[in-house]
A and B are shown apart, each in its own frame.
Chain A
C-alpha cells in the first residue's frame, strides 16, 4: 500500500485519558482509517484484557487506587497486552498498535526494532459530554449487564474519580516535552501537538483534527441505471437509461421526505452521476476523484468480451480482485488511494449524499464498515439502492433503502477456485503492483485512456465545447 511505503519503523500509539473521554472511540476510528489506507493496525484494549482476567465486574471499588490486589491484576494485564503488542508489531508484521487504557504506562523496552511511540491524550472537563459518553457506550458495556442507567452512571462516575487521584496529564512544558503526542481537548475544540516525528504521525494528527462527533448521516448510492449497464458494458461515460431517470426522480422524492438539514450532494465527473444529481434540483459538487475505477484496455467491454479477449487477465482479476490492476487502468487499491481526500472531507462534513459508482462505493463503504481488502471488492452495492450510514457508539449503523425501481444486477461474486484456476505461479498480480507492462496478454492496441482521471467527454455531435 502506498501509505505503508512511508512508514519504516513500526509505531505504537498510546491512548491516555480518564474514562469516558473517547479513547476507545478514537482508537477504533483511527485503526479503521489506518487499515483502510493500507497501514496494518490493531487495537489492544486493556479493558478487554481486564475483563478476561477478572471474569465478573463487581463495582467501582476495583479501580480504587489503594486496592492493591486489583492494582496487581491491572498491571499484569498491561504487561500481557504489551507482550501481545510486541508480537503483533514484530512477528505479525503489523505496523501500528493502538493501546487504549486509562493509565499512563511506562514502556517495557525490549525487542530489536523499537517502535516509535506516539501518545494521544483526550482531555475533557465538560460534564455534559462525559455524561453523554457514558450513556452511549458504557451503559451497554459487558461490565454492566443489568443496564440500569442510573446505577451505571453512578458507578461509572465513581470509577472516574478513582482515576482522577493519580491522573498525570501530559505536560508539554516540562516533564513530557520530549515525547511525541497530540492532546485533544474538549472533543476537538483545541489541540496541542508536540514533536511529530514522521509521516504517519503527521497523518494521524491530521485525521484526529478533522473528525468530529456531531450527529449526522451519510447517504451512499450509485448513479441511476445507465445505458451501458443495460448492455453489460463496464466503464465508459454513458447517460442514464429510462429506468435510471426514474430512479433519479425517486431519489429526489426520498431526499425530500428525509428532511435532511443542510445536505451536501457530491457526484463524480461522469455523466451518469451528474444526470442523477440534476434531478434533485439542489446544488451539488463534482469530484473527479469519485469517477469509477478505470478499466484501462477493458473499458466499455462486457465481462464476456473481456473473458474472450483477455482470458488470463480475467482469471487474474478473480484471483486477487483488490490488487489486480487493469492494464492501462487502475486497481481497487489505487482507488482507495485516490479516494482518501473524499474520506477526509466526509469526516469534516455533516450530512452528505454521495452519488458515485460501484467500485467507488465499495471502497467508501469498506471504510465506514471496517471491511478488509479481501471483502471490499465483493461488497454488495446494487443499483437503485441507498445506504444510509449513521455513526453510533463505536461504529456505524447501516440502513439499506431500495427505491423500488428495477435495474440490472451488476454484481459478480468471487468465483469458486476450481474451474479457471491458473497454474500457481508466484502471485503474478502482486508482482505487477509496481510494474507498468501487462504481464499476460500480448500488447493490445492501445485504446485512448478513457476517464482515467475523468473529464467531460467531447460531445462530437453537440455544440462547440467551451472551456470551464
Chain B
C-alpha cells in the first residue's frame, strides 16, 4: 500500500471529441496553480511528431497494422516520458491523455503504474449527444494541425469516420468488471457522474474540481478597486477609501457594465472599503468575500516602498529574490494567497458571468490561474488600476 506521497497517474478514457484534452488541460492548469506539479501527455501529439503528415481517418482503422504499430509506439513513448516526469523530475501528477478505450490498453497502463509505484485514477468522458460532439469538433478539431489543408466539411466528415473506428472496440468502464479501479465517469458534459473508490486526498480534490466545472459560455471580468487614498500616497495595504479619481472609475465601471448587457451578472468584492465603495457605485447586489482581501503585508502595512527599503532593507531584498514565496514578517506570501483564493476559483468555475472587484496581488493570482501563468511570473503580471480584464473561455484556454 502506497504512502500518501505517491505520484498519481491520471488516465483519460473516451471516444474522440468527448472533451478529454479539454479536461486534461484544465485539470493540469488547476493542479499546478494550487501547487501540485502536474504535466499532461497527449498521445495525439506524439503521433503527430512521429507521422509527419496526417492523411486520413484510415490511419485509425482497427485493421490497419501499420497504424496500430505506430499508435502503440507513441503510447509507450508517452508512458516513458511520464515515468521520467514522475520518478525523476519530481512531478506529482501526470495526465495521460489518449482514448484508452479498450480494457486491454487500460490494463497495460495500470500495470505500468503499479510497477512504478503510482496510483492510477481513470477519468472517462461519455457523451452521446450529437450536438455536443459536433460543437466540440468545430471548436477544436477543425483548427487542428491534422486538418490544416482541408475544408471544414472535409475535416468534419473525416473526423466522424475517425470516431467510428474506435466505436467497435470501445469498452466503457464497467461497474462490475472495473469495480476495483479508481475512477470517475463523467456523463453528458457533467449531467451526472459515477465515482468509484476514491483513494486519497488528491483524488478527492480532482473529483470535486471535475464536478464543479462546466462548459456553458460565460465571461469573467476582473478588475481592481478604484484608486485609493493610500494609492495616491504610494502606501501599500491598509483599508483606505477611494480617491476622487477612484470614485470616477467606479462610475465609469457602472456605465461599462450597463453597456455590456451581461446576463445575470454576479458581483464580488473583498471586505475592504475600497472594493466595497467601488461596487456600491454599480447599484447592483454584490457579495463580499473576506478571502478576496489584499495580501497582508504584516509589519510593512501602510508603508511606502521607500520606507520599507529604509526600515527593512533585508526584507526588501529578499522579496525581490523570490517574490512568489516571500512572506512579509507577520504577513502573507503570494503562495499563501493562492491557498486562500482556492475556494474563489472553485466558485468561479461553478458560476457563469461574474465581475470580481479585488486588489493587485489577488488579481494577479486569479489571472495566473486563468491564463496558466507559472509561479515565477505570477507576482509580476500587469494589473493596473482602472483597467478591466474580460476573460472568455475558448477552445482549450
Q: When the two chains form their complex, are residues B175 and A190 in contact, meaning their CB atoms are under 8 A apart?
A: yes
* Contact indicator per residue, chain B 326-368, by CB within 8 Å of chain A (1) or not (0): 1111111000100110000001001000000000000000000
Q: When the two chains form their complex, are residues A448 and B350 in contact, meaning their CB atoms are under 8 A apart?
A: no
Q: When the two chains form their complex, are residues B193 and A191 in contact, meaning their CB atoms are under 8 A apart?
A: yes
Contact partner of B287 (CB less than 8 A), chosen from A5, A345, A446, is: A5
* Residues of chain A with a CB closer than 8 A to B290's CB: 2, 334, 337
Q: How many B residues, CB 8 Å from partner?
A: 47
The answer to whether B298 has its CB under 8 Å from any CB of chain A is: yes
The answer to whether A457 has its CB under 8 Å from any CB of chain B is: yes
4 cross-chain pairs, A with B, having the tightest CB-CB distances, nearest first:
A194-B192, A458-B329, A191-B195, A193-B193
Q: When the two chains form their complex, are residues A288 and B325 in contact, meaning their CB atoms are under 8 A apart?
A: no
The answer to whether A199 has its CB under 8 Å from any CB of chain B is: yes
The answer to whether A352 has its CB under 8 Å from any CB of chain B is: no
Q: When the two chains form their complex, are residues B201 and A345 in contact, meaning their CB atoms are under 8 A apart?
A: yes
Given A449-B330, A457-B330: A210 and B204 within 8 A (CB)?
yes
Contact partner of A202 (CB less than 8 A), chosen from B272, B289, B350, is: B350
Given A189-B196, A449-B331, A455-B331: A348 and B350 within 8 A (CB)?
no
* Residues of chain A with a CB closer than 8 A to B198's CB: 209
Contact partner of B207 (CB less than 8 A), chosen from A172, A209, A446, is: A209
B319 and chain A: residue at smallest CB distance? A467
Q: When the two chains form their complex, are residues B192 and A193 in contact, meaning their CB atoms are under 8 A apart?
A: yes
The answer to whether B273 has its CB under 8 Å from any CB of chain A is: yes
Q: When the two chains form their complex, are residues B197 and A288 in contact, meaning their CB atoms are under 8 A apart?
A: no
Q: When the two chains form their complex, are residues A455 and B298 in contact, meaning their CB atoms are under 8 A apart?
A: yes
CA distance A5 to B285 in the complex (A): 12
The answer to whether A135 has its CB under 8 Å from any CB of chain B is: no
The answer to whether A124 has its CB under 8 Å from any CB of chain B is: no
B300 and chain A: residue at smallest CB distance? A448
* Contact indicator per residue, chain A 188-227, by CB within 8 Å of chain B (1) or not (0): 0111111110010010011001100000000000000000
CA distance A465 to B237 in the complex (A): 23
B346 and chain A: residue at smallest CB distance? A202
Q: In residues 168-193 of chain A, which contact B (Cβ within 8 Å)? A: 172, 177, 189-193
The answer to whether B263 has its CB under 8 Å from any CB of chain A is: no
Q: When the two chains form their complex, are residues B239 and A436 in contact, meaning their CB atoms are under 8 A apart?
A: yes
The answer to whether B322 has its CB under 8 Å from any CB of chain A is: yes
Q: When the two chains form their complex, are residues B298 and A448 in contact, meaning their CB atoms are under 8 A apart?
A: yes
Q: In residues 429-466 of chain A, which contact B (Cβ within 8 Å)? A: 434, 436-437, 446, 448-453, 455, 457-458
* Residues of chain B with a CB closer than 8 A to A449's CB: 296, 298, 301, 330-331
The answer to whether A52 has its CB under 8 Å from any CB of chain B is: no
A337 and chain B: residue at smallest CB distance? B290
Q: In residues 231-251 of chain B, which contact A (Cβ within 8 Å)? A: 238-239
* Residues of chain B with a CB closer than 8 A to A437's CB: 273
Q: When the two chains form their complex, are residues B194 and A192 in contact, meaning their CB atoms are under 8 A apart?
A: yes
CA distance A172 to B340 in the complex (A): 36
Q: How many A residues, CB 8 Å from partner?
A: 39
Q: In residues 320-364 of chain A, which contact B (Cβ within 8 Å)? A: 334, 337, 345, 348
* Residues of chain B with a CB closer than 8 A to A193's CB: 192-195, 211
Residues in A lying within 8 Å of B, measured CB to CB: 2, 5-6, 172, 177, 189-196, 199, 202, 205-206, 209-210, 288, 334, 337, 345, 348, 434, 436-437, 446, 448-453, 455, 457-458, 467-468
Q: When the two chains form their complex, are residues A209 and B330 in contact, meaning their CB atoms are under 8 A apart?
A: no
CA distance A449 to B298 in the complex (A): 6
CA distance A6 to B296 in the complex (A): 26
The answer to whether B299 has its CB under 8 Å from any CB of chain A is: yes
The answer to whether B271 has its CB under 8 Å from any CB of chain A is: yes
CA distance A283 to B330 in the complex (A): 25
A237 to chain B, nearest CB (A): 9
Q: When the two chains form their complex, are residues A468 and B287 in contact, meaning their CB atoms are under 8 A apart?
A: no
* Residues of chain A with a CB closer than 8 A to B332's CB: 453, 455
Contact partner of A192 (CB less than 8 A), chosen from B193, B287, B321, B350, is: B193
* Residues of chain A with a CB closer than 8 A to B238's CB: 446
A435 to chain B, nearest CB (A): 9
Q: When the two chains form their complex, are residues B211 and A196 in contact, meaning their CB atoms are under 8 A apart?
A: yes
CA distance A286 to B298 in the complex (A): 20
The answer to whether B124 has its CB under 8 Å from any CB of chain A is: no
CA distance A161 to B328 in the complex (A): 64
18 CB contacts below 8 A, A to B, read A2-B289, A172-B192, A190-B175, A191-B195, A193-B195, A195-B191, A195-B192, A202-B212, A434-B271, A434-B288, A446-B302, A448-B298, A455-B298, A455-B332, A458-B299, A467-B321, A467-B326, A468-B325
Q: When the two chains form their complex, are residues B330 and A450 in contact, meaning their CB atoms are under 8 A apart?
A: yes
* Residues of chain B with a CB closer than 8 A to A194's CB: 191-193
The answer to whether B276 has its CB under 8 Å from any CB of chain A is: yes
CA distance A354 to B265 in the complex (A): 41
* Residues of chain A with a CB closer than 8 A to B321's CB: 467
The answer to whether B318 has its CB under 8 Å from any CB of chain A is: yes
A303 to chain B, nearest CB (A): 23
CA distance A5 to B343 in the complex (A): 14
CA distance A434 to B268 in the complex (A): 13
* Residues of chain A with a CB closer than 8 A to B287's CB: 5
Q: When the two chains form their complex, are residues A436 and B272 in contact, meaning their CB atoms are under 8 A apart?
A: yes
Q: When the two chains form their complex, are residues B336 and A189 in contact, meaning their CB atoms are under 8 A apart?
A: no
* Residues of chain A with a CB closer than 8 A to B350's CB: 199, 202
* Residues of chain A with a CB closer than 8 A to B328's CB: 455
* Residues of chain A with a CB closer than 8 A to B212's CB: 202
The answer to whether B305 has its CB under 8 Å from any CB of chain A is: no
Q: When the two chains form their complex, are residues A189 and B201 in contact, meaning their CB atoms are under 8 A apart?
A: no
* Residues of chain B with a CB closer than 8 A to A468's CB: 325, 327
* Residues of chain B with a CB closer than 8 A to A5's CB: 287
CA distance A434 to B273 in the complex (A): 10
A174 to chain B, nearest CB (A): 13
The answer to whether B208 has its CB under 8 Å from any CB of chain A is: yes
A330 and chain B: residue at smallest CB distance? B290
Given A193-B192, A209-B204: A448 and B299 within 8 A (CB)?
yes
* Residues of chain A with a CB closer than 8 A to B207's CB: 209
CA distance A455 to B193 in the complex (A): 40
* Residues of chain B with a CB closer than 8 A to A467's CB: 318, 321-322, 325-326
B193 to chain A, nearest CB (A): 4
Contact partner of B296 (CB less than 8 A), chosen from A202, A209, A453, is: A453
Given A193-B211, A205-B211: A452 and B196 within 8 A (CB)?
no
